[in-house]
Structure 1
């Protein structure tokens, strides 16, 4: 009898010790990472620099990140104009590139969750036509479309969004022809205008925004279909002056935020990131989905024009065009609020919860057993 009591008491002590041990390990992990990195205290540094001698081109304009966070895709628009794939880990060029057959300028880049890359191409003369192309992740061309448009015309922003089972590519034309155009790219090798968007696939910005001079820069589309757009509404600034939130059907402007030099734009989690093309005063505005300012980050000594911004692996990446005659990418340290829960952490959490349930069950059983023995 005494032996059984001792065994039960020992079992309870063992279980409780295990619980304390698990708790202590969790506290130790928290202590090891007790510095919470926020938007307000995140440090920024130069990831890598690029120049004509190294890349054969310069003026970093198009800027996008792959959905898996492995690659940055950048467009360089002076010299041997091209699209280049960089590693997000260290900014290195991995040798994968794409060149337009007519040396067009790739200012707009987007990626989708299938790994495809979409580009908008402005011709060298910016007259009479623009081109779009769909590429695989290694930048092999799957389709190429020349779109004839009268007048001076080019492409800035490009975005791809999924609606149901179909994928749509949106691209902005500007200069004399200010529109947003949409193509169905569900099959990247066989693309066509999306007739169900706007007027036969074209949204005329002068009518939609109510201004004959308004020009759009870049756009992003949220999971709920909301469109976020940087634009130059009044043309008092060289590049941009406004951020807009538009409903998913392109019927109504829902929110407007005035921001001098608003240019590049990116969505991640609950945040809207806008880079300012600010001639030495460049920075990145972090907004909520209602375009309220959360924080302003990223200014660096000697910065020139922040032409693009992206988020991957918990870090903010910024394209700085023509820093001291070259291009560079600026990167933040890992910011806690931008980190997606890792699969390992999710599994560990499930395991710990399961262990906790088992431990509680054992404790309850042991207590009942002990109570019976002590009667």
Structure 2
């Protein structure tokens, strides 16, 4: 085989012609240090005092609202390979949609203005801080996580570890399980934390990571993949985000249930074709099963209600001809009240569920409870 033939064989197919199965074969076991599940669990374990301290002393308070959600590896690989690096955009359908700093602000609720972070990392590393936080010459993410979770009261050390942890798992993760010591320069003076432009920092790091992934044919995708995942999911229904009507951080409204619905839509409809319709279809499929169960329960109670009324009607006729019926009458009235309460509670639970799901997914569902009169 000639060298030219070998080069042709090494040329990667266009992403539009590559199946998810082919992507899985190469990237299915890629190492992901970026982890919303890990970060979200740590935030969940923090006390309210710790969260308030992060909010008051940094401009990264939006990150504390992050839930435990799994990153969809193959979907993210396809998205990363679909980015036009010249325009910093992804074409969904036929519309190229840019990934912007405004997206970062809307999704995470972090600043996109302020002091550039990059120059600070060119300074000499603070050896005192390195000695305090390093273990065998590395600032391990696992050590930061353990110390953050074990913190009894929020203080300067807690805040420094939180910043390094956020950088290592969300804002600027690499394929390594440690945080580069250059980031220690950002936490030397805690007064500076609110001045930094964290939004542009994480966005620039993301694009640099994607560039390496694409140009060097890396197996492992790095950078803020949480940003990429929610950028895509927030553009599923429309080619424009209306952040004005959705207060940031948008990340706060995404849990694993909603992520699964969006992920199912991707698996069924792909990245482009009919995805907007697919989201509605998949959403309704998830809701339909719950509606069916609740609807059957409502019908069962409705039937019991009718039977009870019929029985009570017969009892009342019988009571008219007898004396000493007050205890029986009181018992019957109590049974009616209990049944009505049960029916009302079930309808309320179902209505609240419908409202919650439709509000999260922007989907209207049929009101199955309307046929029951209370």
Q: Do they superpose with TM above 0.5?
A: no
Please classify the TM superposition score into its range, dividing by the shorter chain length. Answer: under 0.3
TM-score, length-normalised on structure 2? 0.25
Q: More relative contact order in 1 or in 2 (CA 8 Å, sep 6+)?
A: 2
TM-score, length-normalised on structure 1? 0.25
Q: Per residue, is there more helix in 1 or in 2?
A: 2
The structure having more radius of gyration, on CA atoms, is 2
